[in-house]
Structure 1
Amino acid sequence: KIPTRLFNISKNMKLIVPSSYFGLLVQASSSSAFIFAAPEAKVRVQTAKRTSLFSSTAGAFSDSDIETAFFSIDVQSTGSIPRSSFADALADLGLELPESQTNELFDKYDADKGSSIDLEEFKALLTDPKMSGVKPNRDTKYAMDMFKKYDADGSGDIDKGEFRAIAKEIQADTRRRNLISVAAAAIGATIVADYSQEYQWAQKNFRSLYIEEKAEEAQNKAFPTALLSGDLDEAVAKTLYRRGFTPENTILAHSVCSDEVNNKDEQLVALMVSRWQEGFSLGGLAGLPFAGKSGFRAFLHHVPDSGKLLVMFAPHVGIDDRGVIGALQRDGQSKVSNACGAAVGAYNALLAKAASDRKPSMKLGDDKDTDLFDPQLNTIVSLLEPRLTDIDKALDPISFVTYQIYRIVRDLVDDCIEQTPDVWEYANEVAIVGGIMINRRLGGDFFQPLSFETRIKDGSPSGSSVDLFEEAFGREPDLTGILGSDETVAALYDRCSDKRAKL
């Protein structure tokens, strides 16, 4: 069964199914095609706007409407809305107020002074004159009706059998939906259904049905605050929107490994390119920005007038269903392969070199990974070698290597910015988000954020830096137990230590 933690239970123990968790099953009358859609992220035509839980025309709400709305905005499933989330909750209801009025409204209806609004207090809140401009949204009510339709036994939840029936209908109609898409393209159709938000919602809330437990356990140990790609994209966007970044004034560059697993639909690169509308690729093997300064300068020349740059960089690592870090079963393959192949290959080359140094007569054979004609891999090997001194102290060698590759990519991206003297002639702000992409066979890819800052034009080559990490992601994770020493962790978080080491 879909876990009850995805839903909420009211005080009289009646199961309440929030529409934000179940979403909509939208049926296309001509094709019988189904699409999962969260009601707050309706299927959009090109550039649709966010839909609130209530529409903007005044009207009365039933108890069912109120309960549905309350549990939809009770995102932490605590049965109450704390002051810190109150403004966002009002925004989801279609009401945006100045901070002073928001606090005044909260204090007025927090009857028990418990620093949160429960369901009964929420009902009272909806009687306030300020709420007179909203009424229940038809989509929210429609979601509930659709849930009842597929809850065949009327139990109040969707069990595996019922969910399987829904999935079977979706699968059976995929071919017809594709045929219709081709036909629409053939006649020059311009309507495009954007379902990325719906996919992210379903991926997130149904993960527990097919989770790979050993992979999840390994990820939590090695990458403790990793976020789903959609959550990372959303957190970055929210933070930058508040600083005036928009698709119209911002151009995105990404420095990630050229491995095809990093370019799947609905994963981070595709999501960010879709959000910011363009994406300039800087990355080569292991995510190093092999486009170099010339590539960065070309990217710089594409920025909108007096606009902003956004750079996302990350090495990547796979985790297979056995929980092995550095391995991944790719689509269409029965065998497990390395991910990142370049990072693992560089590490293996260094192991072979160390063994050869201990045994001078030993030959490396015909391993093409160490061939001199392989400039990208040779660069990775030479930059990685001096960073492996503490690898024996680490939780896992490949995760340690991946964190060191992150440091390498970070420093190279820094060099591209700082050694391009006219960067501030084209842009007035440069945002940089870095971390590690984690590829998973099932359940969606993740991203372990490790840095997020923006640099503002101030007359210096690098600009003045504003750290955005805590605002977007919370506190930095404690990686001492993973990397094995405080010194290695400090080097990971402190760019200056690497620059001092170079000097």
Structure 2
Amino acid sequence: MLQRKFDEIVKKEFPNARDAKDTSIHFLGKMQIEHQLDVSKILMATSVCSDDINVPSTTFFNVLFGPFVMGGLGGVPFVGKTGMTAYAHHIPDEGSAFIFYGPHIGITLDGELGKMFRPRMEEKGNSCGALMLALDRLQHDGYTPIVNDDDYQQMKLEESLLPFRAEILASENPPKAITEATYGIIDNKIRQYLKTCKDEFHADKVTLLGGIIINTDYGLDDYFDARNFEVIDLKSL
């Protein structure tokens, strides 16, 4: 009953979102049946937020090798070209690559985006914490992140969001808008690193699955709003 209510609430904001575990099964099937990929030889990489709440979201983690973790705060692939090269070198013989990426956002039964009730906690908290912190800071006039070693990932995340600041703050729903902007940042960086490092792969194909993870309540399934699914021939990049 509660899962059904969350389904209605999630789809008001993300009409194309599907149960995250069903999403996993759907795209694993597409890789096997439509693209003839051997899932026993696929190494998964993730560029999702390092938040612990995202680990049980999908069944990819239970089926595929890996993950090779690319994402840091917000899901941005902070490993850069060196990390993409390392991942390329780890692909199984005669195997292929699968990169699952995107930011996440919580939602409550009241439909509040950017919030969720975490396991064994009575008070709701931020999700994504890094993005909601960035949103709070960007709302202060004149704020500019200063990149430093003490908080490198958060500062770089906020720096990357600066070009979208006006658009985010003018939105009817800034938590959703900052999440959407972050998806674009992650997608662009993944493609950039793939193109730069394509010759490092000893595989013909890379599968990309990008979207937004939507966190619900503890004990209930999360959702995934898929924005991109493609199997790329590396020779075409």
Q: Distance in 2 between matches of 1:412 and 1:329?
A: 31
Q: Which secondary structure does the structure 2 equivalent of 1:436 belong to?
A: strand
Q: Distance in 1 between matches of 2:2 and 2:10?
A: 16
Secondary structure, counterpart of 2:61 in structure 1: helix
Where does residue 45 of structure 2 map in the other structure? 253
The residue correspondences of 1:363-442 to structure 2 (distance < 5 A) are 372=148, 373-391=150-168, 394-424=171-201, 426-441=202-217
The residue type equivalent to 2:50 in the other structure is: S
Q: Hey, what's the Cα distance between the residues in 2 that align with 1:326 and 1:347?
A: 10
* Percent identity of paired positions between Structure 1 and Structure 2: 27
Q: TM-score, normalised by structure 1?
A: 0.44
Cα separation, 1, equivalents of 2:93 and 2:170: 49
Q: 1:346: Cα distance to partner?
A: 1.1
Q: Which amino acid aligns with 2:31?
A: L
CA distance in 1, matches of 2:223, 2:53: 12
Distance in 1, matches of 2:199 and 2:97, equals 13
SS in 1 for 2:197: coil
Q: Distance in 2 between matches of 1:313 and 1:451?
A: 10
Alignment-mate amino acid for residue 17 of structure 2: A
2:112 equivalent to 1:324:
yes
Displacement of 1:245 after TM fit?
A: 1.3
Cα deviation digits, residues 84-125 of structure 1 (max 9, x gap):
xxxxxxxxxxxxxxxxxxxxxxxxxxxxxxxxxxxxxxxxxx
Who is 1:452 aligned against?
229
Q: Deviations over 1:427-481 (max 9, x none)?
A: 10011010000000053100000011111143x4x2xxxxxxxxxxxxxxxxxxx
Q: Tell me the residue number matched to 2:13.
A: 222
Alpha-carbon spacing, 1:389–1:220, altered in 2? closer, same or farther (3 Å): same
1: CA distance, partners of 2:174 / 2:4: 22
Q: Distance in 2 between matches of 1:421 and 1:428?
A: 10
Residues 237 and 333 (structure 1 numbering): CA distance in 2 closer, same or farther, change over 3 Å? same
In structure 2, give the amino acid aligned to 1:298: A
Of 224, 230, 236 in structure 1, the residue corresponding to residue 27 of structure 2 is: 236
Shift in Å, 1:305: 2.1
For residues 150-299 of structure 1, the aligned pairs below 5 Å read: 209-211=1-3, 213=5, 215-242=6-33, 243-264=35-56, 267-268=57-58, 271-299=59-87
**What amino acid is aligned across from residue 439 of structure 1 in structure 2?**
N
Mapped contact 2:47–2:71 kept (Cα < 8 A) = yes
Q: Residues 351 and 393 of structure 1: is their aligned pair in 2 closer, same or farther, counting only changes over 3 Å?
A: closer
In 2, the alpha carbon distance for the partners of 1:212 and 1:237 equals 24
Q: CA deviation at 1:297?
A: 1.2
- Matched residue of 1:374: which SS? helix
Cα distance change of structure 1 residues 276 and 440 upon mapping to structure 2, 3 Å threshold? same
**SS where residue 27 of structure 2 aligns?**
helix
Contact 2:24 2:60 in 1 (8 A): yes
In 1, Cα distance between the equivalents of 2:109 and 2:208?
Answer: 32
SS in 1 for 2:47: strand
Q: What is the rounded CA distance, in whole Å, between the counterparts of 1:376 and 1:329 in structure 2?
A: 25
Paired residue secondary structure (2:85): helix
| Secondary structure of the structure 2 residue equivalent to 1:245 | coil
CA displacement at 1:246 relative to structure 2? 1.6
The one-letter amino acid of 2:19's match is L
Q: In 1, are the aligned partners of 2:42 and 2:65 still within 8 Å (CA)?
A: no
Q: Which residue of 2 aligns with 1:34?
A: none
5+ residue gaps, structure 1: 1-208, 358-363, 463-503
SS at match of 2:40: coil
For each residue in 1:407-442, what CA deviation from the matched residue of structure 2 results, as whole angstroms up to 9, or x when unmatched? 011111111101114134x11001101000000005
Write out per-residue CA displacement over residues 354-399 of structure 1, whole angstroms, 9 at most, x where no aligned residue. Answer: 2x47xxxxxx9xxxx9784211011111111112333355341111
State the 1:222 CA deviation.
1.7
Distance 1:211 1:235, change over 3 A: closer
Aligned-partner Cα distance in 1 for 2:67–2:124: 30
Aligned amino acid, residue 241 of structure 1: Q
Greater RCO (CA < 8 Å, at least 6 residues apart): 2
1:259 alignment partner AA: D
Q: Is the 8 A contact 2:211 2:225 kept in 1?
A: yes
Counterpart Cα distance in 2 of 1:334 and 1:297: 43
Which residues of structure 2 form unaligned runs of 5+? none
C-alpha distance in 1 between matches for 2:208 and 2:183: 13
Residues 41-60 of structure 1 aligned to structure 2 (within 5 Å): none
Q: Is the 8 A contact 2:91 2:97 kept in 1?
A: yes
